[in-house]
Structure 1
Amino acid sequence: MDLKISPKHLILALAGWAFALSAAAQYQWVGKDGRKVFSDRPPPADIQEKDILKQPGGRRAALPVMPAESTDAPSTTADAAPAAAAAKPKVDPNTPKISGKDAELEAKKKKLEQEAAAKRKAEEEKVAQAQAENCERAKKAVASFQSGVRIASTNAKGEREIMDDNTRAAELKRVQAVVERDCNRPAAQ
């Protein structure tokens, strides 16, 4: 029986073997923040040996050995509380606490809100100024219509026409509505 292996099958076999080795060469440890870390690189030097959970080659770090309970004294729940407290990982007071908020992002957000408020205020001031100008022009127009002086206007052909009494009354009514609308509003704050 003659066994021939094609180059294609050889490459596939070698790739599978390399993948199996790389998958086995994983590290696993508990980081300073208490989270599990998975990596193909060894943990940093400041990680203690007891925090390394898995190393390449299937080796596991030695688990800390808890002292055996004495069988002479009966076990009580009061004894269990200190043991449970000792089993909890101690938190380093110097580790930064994650608040869920990014200070830089919050500062940008606040700046954008201030810019939007300033833009709104400028727009309100612009509208208030336009209303004040409209009010002054309307008051002058009312005074002109009420003075009894003849008022002329220019038509579409560019010819000058004198307003009759009906047109004058309609214009006076329109201008008084503008005065009521623009002059009786409180100033923008």
Structure 2
Amino acid sequence: MIRPSLALLALLTALPVAAQIYSWKDKDGKIHYSDTPPPTGEMKTLQRPTRTPPPMPTGEAASETAEGKKADTNADPAKPKTLAERELEFRQRRAAEAEAQAKAEKEAAEAADRQRACEQARNQLAALNSGQRISRFNASGEREFLDDAARNAEIAQTQRLIDQACK
């Protein structure tokens, strides 16, 4: 209950900031403050709203700032940068960092794939060189064992794969 009351109070106190505030004395001599003028009598305006829009750049500078470019390319380096310039530089740095991170992740994934392929090829070569009987399934789904000629061809092919993958 306290939080909604505080929020309502904050909103109500912020409303007069956006409007004019009037001060007047009534017939009993009491001073009143309000955002609406009194129906009759003398009043004082205490606060006027200051809602003037920022000046808009004109000509070539307006078109360059609209495109996100610097308005003055020969700006004095000692002159502080505007908020828009700092925001643009921040976004460019963030995009470059994200691009570099994505590139590094891609390279790491490719390196892991190469390492895995190399490991598999080396294991296959070790199995072929071990002298065990090796079988595979042919196109018709039948199991066939490798003879010496097929084993040597498979060893040569696996060695080429290792030379490519394990650089």
TM-score tier (shorter): 0.3 to 0.5
Larger Rg: 1
TM-score (norm 1): 0.43
TM-score (norm 2): 0.48
